[in-house]
Amino acid sequence: MTETEELIALIRADSAARGAPLSKLGYFCAPFRPPSGAFADRVVKVYRAMPDRPAAERLARAHDDYAAALRETGVPLPETEIRLLEVEGALVPVILQQALRTETMMRPQMQAADLPRALAMMEAAGGVIADFWNAADGFETRIGFHPSIRNFAVEDDRAIFFDTFPPLIHYSRDEMGRLLLQFSEKRLMRMIGPLMRARVTAIQDEWYSPPETVVGIVGSACRLRPGDSAAFLDWGRDFAARRMRRWEAEIIEGLARPPRLPREWTALRKLLGLQGEPNL
């Protein structure tokens, strides 16, 4: 069996046979790591099939460009590729990513760490955010970043980012809003989402705003460890002055109090039945 045939077999297999899912909260898919075979060292992310070949090919090009842009801006990223697999007359986007060790995931480490270690992890992730935005001006295209605590691993005081979908490059705001609907795993979202297009489209705005990405990750830390909110707010304000001076005033304004999740996202979480700690 070729690699492509094995990958198609994984897509067609029952979820129980695919391997252990890595997340129950995925908006677009539940990533999994096969227990054996050619892809046992990788995380597999399978997205909804696309009958529109030009759109699928555009998506794949955008993903390649986005992965390259992340690396160019200094964002540590595991080896990551996208493949378009033809299955039953449609193209299925599949992302293959070098697997990171479970114990390096930032979220559980943040929960277990003492405060100095938690702040050190925030500094590591913040450095990645600052490096990205301070270099993003070099791209003559719309480009964004979604640096949530869930999208980082931290190993040896180095933050590693691993979320490349949807590729936040080249697409207009309205086009990205349509992608958010198109690739939702929830049938309910695809059915009623068009009636809430403005709310769905607005979800992305934080990802394209340098100050909001910092405010967002500080808010995540505050919700994850509410007893340490004051320390995280102090860290965020200090970080803005040290590493993101261009946006310092906006970041400080956003950190006047523990940030809350955007109403659009909390409303959609309830609608979609997404359960779990609200620190996305």
Confidence category of residue 10, pLDDT binned at 50, 70, 90: confident
Q: What are phi and psi of 113, to 5 degrees?
A: -75, 160
Instruction: Give the confidence band of 277 by pLDDT, cuts at 50, 70, 90.
Output: very low
Let me know if residue 277 belongs to a domain: no
As a whole number, mean pLDDT of residues 82-87 equals 93
Mean pLDDT of the chain: 87
* 215 lies in the same domain as 78: no
Distance CA 234, CA 148 (A): 19
pLDDT over 80 at 225, yes or no? yes
Give the C-alpha separation, 215 to 233, whole Å.
9
Q: What is the CATH number of the domain that holds 23?
A: 3.30.200
Predicted TM-score of the model (pTM): 0.88
Mean pLDDT value of segment 70-99: 94
Q: Is the pLDDT of residue 198 over 70?
A: yes
- 88 with 128, same domain? no
Residues 152/125, Cβ–Cβ less than 8 Å: yes
Answer yes or no: do 13 and 85 share one domain. Answer: yes
Dihedral class, residue 33 (left if φ above 0, else alpha if ψ from -120 to 50, else beta): beta
Instruction: Pick the last residue of a domain from 98, 113, 148.
Output: 98
Q: How confident is the model at residue 170 (pLDDT cuts 50, 70, 90)?
A: very high
- Would you state the pLDDT for residue 265? 58
Quick check: 274 pLDDT over 50?
Answer: no
Instruction: State the pLDDT confidence band at 193, using cuts at 50, 70 and 90.
Output: low
Tell whether 94 and 154 lie within a shared domain. Answer: no
What domain range is 191 assigned to?
102-272
Residue 280 lies in a domain: no
Is there a single domain that holds both residue 73 and residue 205?
no
Q: How far apart are CA 13 and CA 66, in angstroms?
A: 29
Domain assignment present for residue 278? The answer is: no
Least confident of 46-55, 123-132, 208-217: 46-55
More reliable by pLDDT, 124 or 30: 124
Tracing tokens 């094995």 back to the chain, one arrives at 6
Beta carbons of 180 and 186 less than 8 angstroms apart: no
Whether residue 182 is found in the same domain as residue 231: yes
Q: Which amino acid is at 13?
A: A
Is 220 among the domain residues?
A: yes
Distance (Å, whole) CA 155 – CA 120: 11
